[in-house]
Amino acid sequence: MSGTLGTVGAAIGMFAGTNTDDLIVLTVLFLSARAAGRPKVWQIWVGQYTGVGVLVAASVVAALGLTIVPDGWVGLLGLVPLGLGVRGVITAIRARAEAEPASIARGLAAVVGVTVANGADNISVYTPVFRTIGAASTGATIAVFAVGVAAWCLAGSWLGSHKKVIAVVERYGHWIVPVVFIGIGSVIVAESGVLTRIF
């Protein structure tokens, strides 16, 4: 029993520690959903579960000794939120006379892409853990992650539900949302060191 509780406790800590930045992304997505109508709320939920599922699956595969993407090139995934952010800025410039905020993650695929890109570095944390804890504990950890995704979505929705915040996003969201995504993408690419490998 103590072993199971220990596994659950470790899984909670690991999920919270590696997905703090994802809470910011979710808040922005829910704000965009409320202010611009896109992405749809169900797309955020499904996209988040799908994205985290991809990350966990990649970690399990890597734990079995297989490498899908070399660690040095994972940072290229940061180009996803970066590209979405740039597109959002361009859209905002073209329609700066309109009050509607830019919706940069327009559908399910975009939400999945942002989730995977933002959590790509999590694979380096999950892989050694899955490699050492065994099948049963890995299953329990994945179950905790599933609950964690729901908790994160609910927290992001709550954070993005305040009237004052929504009012600000409705007024400045066509700049705020894209800039946040550009920042996230830039940090992912920069911290990965992938630019050094390319140039």
Q: pLDDT digit string (tens) for 17-39?
A: 888 778 888 888 888 787 777 78
Q: Residues near 55 by Cβ (< 8 Å), separated by ≥ 6?
A: 115, 116, 119, 120, 122, 123, 126
Q: What is the mean pLDDT of residues 62-79?
A: 65
Burial of 100 (0-12, 13-18, 19+ CB in 10 A): middle
**Interval 139-180: pLDDT, tens:** 999 999 999 999 999 998 888 777 676 666 666 666 766 777
